[in-house]
Every structure is written in C-alpha cells, then in structure tokens.
Amino acid sequence: MADETTQAANPALDQLPQRALERLKGMREAGQQSGVFTSDLSVNEFLMVREAGFEPLGMVVGSCIYHVGIQYGSWSKNQELNVLSQAMYHARELAMERMEREAHALAADGVVGVRLEVKRLAWDQNILEFLAIGTAIAHRTGHPGFKGPKGMPFTSDLSGQDFWMLLRAGHRPLSMVMGSCVYHVAHQGVLKSLSNVGQNTEITPFTQAMYDARELAMERMQNEAMAAEAEGVVGVQLHEGSHNWQPHVLEFFAVGTAVKPIEDKALIPEAISPQVVIPVND
C-alpha cells in the first residue's frame, strides 16, 4: 500500500513501464526469461542492439579444458602439426557449441560480441582452457528469420554497433567461422646460417612456413563458411600465437563472422548511405 502511495505522489514514475517500475521496486522475480538480463554490452552496444529491434537476454558462456595430444615433427622440416591443429580447432568448437546451447536454452536468436579466448594453465603445459563468451539476444517480436544454421542461434563476434550496421547493409550473421593451423617452422642448419652471415636476405623456408600456415587456416575457415551456406565472411582476423609451445611451433588462427543476405526483404531496414564525415578533433 505504501508503495502505491509513493507512486501516486510522484508523477515522473507514471511515465515508466510497469516492468521498469517493478525493477526499481526490487520486486522482479529471479530466474524468469522475461526478467532481468545480463550482458557485457557497452552502453552504445546496448542502444544499437535495441535500435536494431533486438533485446539482450543474458550472458552466455561455454568453456572447454583440453589436453593437447602428442605430435611428432622433424627438427629441420617445415610441416603442419596436424594433431595440434585438430586439438586447437576441436576445443574451440566445443566451447562455442556449449555457448550456443546456453543461448538456445534462453530461446535466443543469436549471440553477439562473442569473445573466444585461449588460456594457458599454470599447472600443466599440455592443458589449455578455451572460453567462449557473449551476449544472447532475441528479436523483439520474435521474427523467425534470424536464426543461424540448423535453427540454432547465430553466433558472431560483431559488436552491437556492427550488428546494427550489418542489418542495415542487408545482411544477417550466421555463425562464427574459424580455421586453425599449427605449424612447425624448420630450424636452419648451421651451414646455411653461416652462408647467410652478414647478408641482408630473405630466409625463404621461414617465409614459406608462415605463408603455408596462413593459407591452410584461411582455406579451412572458408570451407566452414561454405558449410554454413554463407555468402561471405566479414571482419576476418588472423591471429598468430604460440600458446606456450616450443619456439618454432606457432598457430595461425583465422576467425570471422559468416553472413548472408536477409531473405525477408521486409526486414531490411532502410539503407543508410555513408556520408563524408571528417572529425575535426582527429
């Protein structure tokens, strides 16, 4: 009763939706899907996701602790360490899949702002921790045209702003696609090293190793995008890492968001045309 009196006494509160009022009064029931959302969106991201017609539902995570298997390699040879490539790929896939399942349980249309991290564990150098974390969102009026492949929520490492912009560009995200290649870069023989002393020269075997590893990672990412029936992949990043391995072993990891044109033309927001914008406080 006391609450209602307060409400009547303060006309500013009349403007608030019932739900916000309940929240302010701390009466929200926990654990309800329609209840409080959690997210790691920034203020701008939150505004743009809502502007695009979506509501955040909750933060979703997937993790995977993976024991990386044994791999043989030859000291003086450039070669892919395919057991390690597969380990890195599989572990990420598991973490992503778990995150997707959480989002699915929230009845989300997709996950934006996904961060995919690999962490070393101090207590065992053969074990790596993989983490996928993002914010699950759903279309406000529940349009079915935004789901990812196989009716699962889409996943994307795009920020809230980029998500908004993607829809404006007439595309929708499908899934994060990845390609991994762990490569052993050959050691140079002593004779070869000596013959190069004092010279400014390219070391072709090393160039080749980097080139080949990148090419393989790219090819795998593209094949994955093809499997997701994407038209293209945006925001591709290429990471090189060594994850505590010995010095000549490195991973090339390509990751991006697979996209396709929005099928339901009625859903495409009005196009915005880029304007000449020149910040004068550069």
Partner 1 sequence: MSFINRIFRSAPRDPDAARHIAEQAARDQEWQSCLAQDRLPSFVQRRLADTKSGKLPWVSTTSVGGLLAQRTHGIKPIGLVSGNCWYQFGFSWTRGHYDGWHKAIGRMWQEAAAMGANAIVDVTMKVQRMANTSGQMDYGVLGTAVSIAGLGDSRDPVVATVSALEFARLMEAGIVPVGLAIGAHYQWYYPYQNILGQNLSGVGTGMRMGMGIGMMGGWNQEVTALSEFLTDVRRTAVGQLQSDAARIGTGVLARVEYSEIVPGEEQEGVPPRYLARHIAFGTAVLHNPRHHLPMRLRSVFSVKDGKMTPEVDLNQEVI
- For partner 1, the binding residues in 10-39 under the rule CB under 8 A are none
Alpha carbon distances (Å) from 115 to 52, 118, 132, 180, 256 = 21, 10, 6, 16, 11
CB-CB neighbours of 7 under 10 Å? 14
- Stretch touching partner 1 by CB under 8 A, among 16-24, 56-64, 111-119, 244-252: 244-252
Measuring CA to CA, which residue among 245, 243, 266 is closest to residue 253? 243
Q: Between 39 and 222, name the residue whose CB sits nearer to partner 1.
A: 222
* Binding to partner 1, residues 44-83 (CB under 8 A): 44, 48, 70-75, 78-82
Out of 65, 152, 218, 267, name the contact with partner 1 by CB under 8 A. Answer: 218
Distant-in-sequence, close-in-space partners of 117: CB < 8 Å, separation ≥ 6: 130, 131, 132, 133
- Cα 151 from Cα 49, distance rounded (Å): 21
Alpha carbon distances (Å) from 114 to 59, 153, 175, 240 = 10, 13, 10, 19
Q: b/e string for 240-274 if b means 16 or more Cβ within 10 A? A: eeebebeebbbbbbbbbbbbbebeeeeebeeeeee
CB of 34 to partner 1, least distance (A): 29
212 binds partner 1 (CB under 8 A): yes
C-alpha angle 256-259-265 in degrees, rounded to nearest 5? 160
Instruction: Please answer whether residues 213 and 252 qualify as being in contact, where contact means their C-beta atoms are separated by less than 8 angstroms.
Output: yes
CB of 170 to partner 1, least distance (A): 7
Site string for partner 1, 110-149 (x = CB under 8 A): ---------------xx-----------------------
CB of 282 to partner 1, least distance (A): 8
Out of 65, 94, 131, 236, name the contact with partner 1 by CB under 8 A. Answer: 236
Q: Between 81 and 106, name the residue whose CB sits nearer to partner 1.
A: 81
273 binds partner 1 (CB under 8 A): yes
Alpha carbon distances (Å) from 268 to 121, 224, 257, 265 = 45, 26, 19, 5
- Stretch touching partner 1 by CB under 8 A, among 93-101, 103-111, 112-120, 250-258: 250-258
* Binding to partner 1, residues 149-208 (CB under 8 A): 158, 161-166, 168-171, 184-185, 196-204, 206-208
Q: Between 50 and 168, name the residue whose CB sits nearer to partner 1.
A: 168
Half-sphere exposure of 186 (CA within 13 A, CB side): 17
Q: Between 88 and 230, name the residue whose CB sits nearer to partner 1.
A: 230
Torsion of CA 219, 223, 225, 229, to 10 degrees: 150
- Stretch touching partner 1 by CB under 8 A, among 89-97, 99-107, 135-143, 270-278: 270-278
Out of 21, 131, 214, 267, name the contact with partner 1 by CB under 8 A. Answer: 214
CB of 131 to partner 1, least distance (A): 20
Q: Between 52 and 106, name the residue whose CB sits nearer to partner 1.
A: 52
